[in-house]
Amino acid sequence: MQELEKEIQPKCLTCSARAISIFNDLNPEEIKNIEEISSCQLYKKGETLFNEGAYPRGIFCVQSGKIKVSQTGLDGKEQIVHLIHDGNIMGHRAILGEDTYSCSAVAMEDSTVCFISKTPFYNMVEKSAKLALKIAHLLSDELKEAERKITDTAQRPVRDRIAQGLLTLKRNYGLEADGVTINLIVKREELANIASTTRETATRLLYELQERGVIELVGKKIKILDEQKLKSRS
């Protein structure tokens, strides 16, 4: 069944996410332009923004929300490749690489996401070496992270990768007001797909970390009690 699309009027000038995005230092005129060529929409938890293999229609700018970007591996097993938060953009790799999407994106929580169509976006970048350089900078950062993840996935034991996964969640989504609880409800299986392991192993290792007093599992949430110990395992 067709999802009801919830259109929202983009307000880039005052968008708090823009300030921390690659569009942070545009001049008012450029911001006006972006506002004109972009649309904005609410995605409910579980909704798909785009699918691996599809042709990209444009790029997505996350105003607020939590989105997983993942690939399909062997036997359809999901590998989560990026964890997206406010101010991040998605789809730029496919657009700049003149390629189909290499990943799918699914909202892990209700998310407000702006969209800029391919052509106007490309026109903008073609005119501004500064913007192109910013995107190259972003891609460079992402490439560095991906390369390091190859090495870690290949060489570190699952125990370390789970610890790293928890730290990544903290880095991307922060902690709740109490200063210890990871600000995302993550399923065992999702954590497993971040850390490249199985649901069962993730379960076991979370309990082991709890035994050792490193984390605490409270309901569906995870509290980080001893970040140093997590870091020492990664």
Partner DNA sequence: CATCATACATGACAAAAATCATAAATTAAA
Partner DNA sequence: TTTAATTTATGATTTTTGTCATGTATGATG
| Cβ-based neighbours of 129, under 8 Å, separated by 6 or more | none
The entry of DNA, a copy of itself, none near residue 143 (CB within 5 to 8 angstroms by kind) is: a copy of itself
DSSP secondary structure of 31-81: HHHHHHHEEEEEE-TT-EEE-TTSPP-EEEEEEE--EEEEEE-GGG-EEEE
Decide: 21 and 88 in contact? Cβ < 8 Å.
Answer: yes
Smallest gap, in angstroms, from Cβ of residue 79 to a copy of itself?
4
Quick one: which of 19, 136, 217, 218 contacts DNA (CB under 7 A)? 217
Q: Could you tell me whether strands 215-218 and 221-224 are parallel, antiparallel, or unpaired per DSSP bridges? A: antiparallel
Nearest approach, Cβ of residue 61 and a copy of itself (Å): 17
Question: Which residues of this chain interact with a copy of itself, rule CB under 8 A?
Answer: 71-74, 77, 79, 81, 92-94, 96-99, 102-103, 125-130, 132-133, 135-137, 139-144, 146-156, 196
198 part of the interface to DNA, by CB under 7 A: yes
CB of 122 to a copy of itself, least distance (A): 9
Residue with tokens 């971040």: 194
Residue closer to a copy of itself, measured from CB, 6 or 130: 130
